[in-house]
Amino acid sequence: MAKFIPIAEPSITQKEIEYVRDAIKSGWVSSLGEYIARFEQKFAEYIGVKYALTTMNGTVALHLALVSLGIKEGDEVIIPDLTFIATANAVVYSGAKPVMVDIERDTWCIDPKCIKKAVTKRTKAIIPVHLYGHPANMNDVNEIAEQNGLYVIEDAAEAHGAEYKGKKVGGIGDVGCFSFYGNKIITTGEGGMIMTNNEEIFERAKFLRDHAMDANKRYWHTEIGYNYRMTNLQAALGLAQLERIDSLISKKELVFDWYEEHLNNIPGIKLNPEKEWAKNVYWMVCLVMDKSSPLSRDNLMIRLKEKGIDTRPFFYPISQMPMYRSSKINPVAYDISQRGVSLPSGVNLNKEQIAYICQQLKGILKNKI
Distance (Å, whole) CA 364 – CA 355: 14
- The three-class DSSP label of residue 273 is coil
Pairing of strands 151-155, 167-168: unpaired
* Catalytic, out of 168, 184, 279, 307: 184
Phi, psi of 94 (to 5 degrees): -80, -10
Q: Which residue, among 105, 336, 60, has the nearest Cα to 225 in the 3D structure?
A: 60
Whether 55 contacts 41, CB under 8 Å: no
184 carries an active-site annotation: yes
Distance, CA of 170 to CA of 177 (rounded, Å): 6
Q: Phi/psi at 192 (nearest 5 deg)?
A: -155, 180
DSSP symbols for 312-351: EEPPPPGGGSGGG--S---HHHHHHHHHEEEEP--TT--H
Distance, C-alpha 107 to centroid of its chain: 15
- Asked whether 351 and 251 are in contact (CB, 8 A), the reply is no
Give the Cβ contact number of residue 154 at 10 Å: 29
98 sits in which H/E element: strand 97-101
Catalytically active residues are 184
